[in-house]
Amino acid sequence: MVLRELTALELGGAIKRGQVSIVEATQAALDSLAARDGALNAFLTVTGEQALERAEQLQAGLKDAQSPLYGVPMAIKDNICTQGVKTSCASKILGDFVPPYSAAVVEKLAQAGAVSLGKLNMDEFAMGSTSETSFYGPVRNPWDLDRAPGGSSGGAAAAVAALMGWYAIGSDTGGSIRQPASFCGVTGIKPTYGTVSRYGLIAYASSLDQIGPLCRDAADCAAVLDVLMGHDPHDATSLPGLRDDWSGSGPRVDYGHLLDGLTGDVRGMRIGLPTDCFGDGLDREVRAAVLSAAEVLKGRGAEIVELSFPVLPYAVPAYYIIACAEASSNLSRFDGVKYGWRAQEYDGLTDLYRKTRTQGFGAEVKRRILLGTFVLSSGYYDAYYKKALQAKAVIKAAFDQAFQQCELLLTPVAPTTAPRLGESLSDPLKMYLSDVYTVSVNLAGLPALSMPCGFDGKGLPIGAQLIGPHFGEGAILNAAHAFQLDTDYHKRRASLQTPDGHGGPACPKAQNQSAGAQCAPLQEAGEPS
C-alpha cells in the first residue's frame, strides 16, 4: 500500500481497520513534505513534532473514533488562526503573530481527529491569484515548477497535488480555492456563504470570504465539509439551520450528510451551460475540456441546456470595488500599535502608522487598500461603491433566474491554464480578469466546486466549475462525484519538474519550518512512501 496515493477517506478507512497507524501515516506525510517542499515552497510553518505527538494521542483513542477522517494528516492555510502556531497571512506585518486561540474550523477538525502538519503559503492577506505576492516567496506549481499554482490558496493546492498531506483547508474570496484547484489538478469547493464559520479567519473581504477544503476528489471534499459546516454563534454571518438547534425561523439547512448523498446518480438533472462563459478570451483547449465534461455528465443521464448569463462583464469590476473597499477597512487594524510588526524609526504616531504600513505591506496589498480607500472616499462612494453593490444585486438576480431553468451551472474555472511565474505580477489587470468566471459566485454567496476535467497540450491541468444555488453543496458534490466515477483526471499525479526535466530550486524557506521536515533532495512522484 502506497499511503500517499490513497484518498483521505481511503487512508481513514485503513487507519480504522488497523492496516496502518496514524503515526505511520503522519511520518509518511512529513517525509514527503521534506523531500518535496523545497521545490514548491507550499508550507510556511511545519509542525512536525506536534503532529507526531498528536498522532500518538489519536492512536490511543482510535477505538472511539467517529469521523471517517480520523487520524488523517492535513494542513491549513496561513490566514486561519491556530493557537500557539504562527499565523502570518504570508505578510511581513504579521510575521511573528501567534494567535491565542484557534479558528472555529480548526477546533472542528481537531474534534474530528485531524492531524495538522502546519501552515500553508498563500498570496499576502489572500490578495492575489497566483500565490506570488507572499512575503516568503512564491509557491510553485507541482505540474510545472516554472508556473504559478494559482491563488490565493496556492500552497494548499500545491500541497495536495504534490501528495504532502491528504487534504488542506483554504479560503475563497473570489475564487481562491477553485482557481488553484484548477491549476493544480485537485478538487476544491467553496461552500454557501455562512455555512462554514469565519471565526478565526483573518478577513480580506468579510461579505465574500468563505472557508472550504481542497482535496483529491469530490468524496473527500464531502467528508471534510461534513466536519466544517454548521452554525457558529461567534460568527455574525453564520447561518442558523442545524437540525438540532433549528428554532423554526430562518433557512433550514440539513448539514452533515454530504458524504452519504454521493450516489453518482445524475439522471434527469438539468445542468446549464452559460454561453457567455464560452466566448472570446477563453483558451480553446480549456473550452474543449469543459464541454467534454458536460458530455460525460450527459452520458450519465444529465440534461445539458444552454442559457444566457449577460451580467458576466459586470462581475470583475463589481467584485474588485467591493473587495478592495472591505479590505481597506479590515486591514486598518494593522498599524504597528496593537500587534504585529512595527517600523523601528519614526517621528510621532502618524509617522509610525505611515512607515509601518508602507514597509509592512507588499505592493499588491497596498494597491488594493488604496483602491478601496478611493472608492469609499467622499465624492466617489456613489459613483463606485454604491454602483458595485447594485451590480451585485443584479448578478444575484441573474443566478436566481438561471436556477429556474436548471439545477446546476457548468463553466470554466479560469480562461487559461496556469500562467508562468511573473506574468501576472507584471500585469495586475490581467490577473484580475483571470477571475472572471469565479468572482460572481462570491458576490452571490453561492457554492461552487472546481474539478479536474483534462489537460492542455503542455500537460497542465484544466478545471471545470460546477455552481449551485444556495445550499446546493449536495447536488454539486454528487455531480462531481458522478464525473469522477467515469474519468481519471483527478487520479493523475504531478512530476514536480520543469519542462526540461529538472527539479526545482533548493529549499528557499527552510528557516520558516518550525519542526519536523527539513529540505532533502527532490524525489520522483512514484517513490515508495
Q: For 265-303, give the DSSP string.
A: --TT-EEEEEGGGGSTTS-HHHHHHHHHHHHHHHHTTPE
Helix (H) or strand (E) segment spanning residue 157: helix 154-161
Contact 201, 103 (CB under 8 A): yes
Q: Which of 67, 176, 238, 424 is catalytic?
A: 176
SS3 state at 487: coil
State the pairing for strand pair 408-412/210-215.
Answer: unpaired
Give the three-state DSSP class for 147. strand
Separation CA 431–CA 418 (nearest Å): 11
For cell 533532495, name the residue.
Answer: 521
Question: CA 80 to CA 373: how far, in whole Å?
Answer: 25
77 is annotated as an active-site residue = yes
- The residue assigned the cell 452571490 is 444
User: Pairing mode, if any, of strands 303-307 and 270-274?
Assistant: parallel
Distance CA 14, CA 21 (A): 8
Residues sharing a CB contact under 8 Å with residue 50, sequence separation 6 or more, in sequence order? 85, 116, 515
Candidates 32, 67, 77, 108; catalytic one = 77
Q: How far apart are CA 371 and CA 361, in angstroms?
A: 15
Verify whether residue 377 is a known catalytic residue: no
The three cell numbers of residue 433 are: 480578469
In the annotation, is 329 catalytic?
Answer: no
Catalytic residue among 152, 171, 238, 328: 152
What 8-state DSSP symbol labels residue 381?
I
Beta bridge partners of 85: 82
φ/ψ of residue 437, rounded to 5? -90, -5
Q: Enumerate the active-site residues.
A: 77, 152, 176
